[in-house]
């Protein structure tokens, strides 16, 4: 049986006009991380997270190309571990979370690459701008959750975006333009 798919981010992730045959899953926020990293003046990469998000995955195990994902992230939930930096990143200089309280990823195409691996293409709306982004995803496991037997899917995914494409240019090039996205997400079948 071929089974693959991932959302996003995300990170953070329609597809085919029909999701017939797809089952609905929702992100389990207790077992999900939406992370990012960005270069700092060439010395290191700073990592951060978004802590508040929700998402729905329509997953077709027999035909993963008919699957789709949609994830919404509250931008104010940004967390880099330093409150003064987080306030700066939430300000008008960067994310402008008052004006743009959410970012959203909606998949447009899922392409199986190998068993358990796929490319998830979609549109990311961030800072009032919508641009295409591709995530490289891996289905880690599909099966019943060992604690309550709920059908569960686990994915890891990575991607990259240029923040300048979304109109976020403060401190370029000292603070990097390329933002690396890393997602680890569990989805539970919707009840």
pLDDT digits (tens, 9 = 90+) for 117-134: 999 999 999 999 999 999
Kindly indicate the confidence band of residue 164, based on its pLDDT and cuts at 50, 70 and 90. Answer: very high
Residue 42, sorted as left (phi over 0), alpha (psi -120 to 50) or beta, turns out to be: left
Helix (H, G, I), strand (E, B) or coil at 59: strand
Cα gap 77→86, rounded to integer Å:
9
pLDDT score recorded for residue 9: 26
pLDDT in tens, 6-15: 332 222 233 3
Per-residue pLDDT, 120: 97
Question: Percent of the chain having pLDDT more than 70?
Answer: 89
pLDDT exceeds 70 at position 151: yes
3-state helix, strand, coil in the chain (%, to 5): 10, 55, 35
pLDDT at 62: 83
Query: Mean pLDDT over residues 80-102, rounded?
Result: 98
What is the average per-residue pLDDT within 89-113? 97
pLDDT range class, residue 19, cuts 50, 70, 90: low
Which neighbouring-strand residues pair with 27? 187
Q: Which CATH class is domain 23-189?
A: mainly beta
pLDDT confidence tier of residue 5, bands split at 50, 70 and 90: very low
């Amino acid at each position: 049986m071929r089974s693959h798919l991932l959302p996003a981010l995300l990170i953070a992730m329609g597809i085919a006009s029909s999701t017939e045959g797809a089952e609905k899953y929702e992100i389990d926020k207790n077992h999900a991380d939406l992370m990012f990293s960005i270069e700092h003046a060439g010395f290191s990469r700073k990592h951060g997270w978004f802590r508040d998000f929700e998402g729905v995955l329509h997953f077709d195990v027999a035909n993963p190309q008919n699957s789709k994902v949609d994830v919404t992230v509250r931008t104010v939930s940004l967390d880099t571990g330093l409150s003064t930096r987080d306030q700066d990143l939430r300000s008008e200089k960067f994310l402008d979370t008052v004006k743009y309280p959410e970012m959203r990823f909606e998949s447009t195409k899922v392409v199986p690459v190998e068993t358990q691996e796929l490319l998830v293409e979609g549109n990311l709306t961030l800072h009032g701008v919508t641009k295409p982004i591709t995530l490289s995803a891996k289905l880690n496991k599909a099966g019943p959750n060992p604690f309550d037997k709920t059908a569960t899917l686990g994915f890891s995914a990575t991607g990259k975006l240029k923040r300048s494409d979304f109109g976020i240019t403060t401190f370029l090039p000292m603070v990097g333009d390329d933002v690396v996205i890393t997602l680890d997400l569990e989805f539970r079948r919707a009840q």
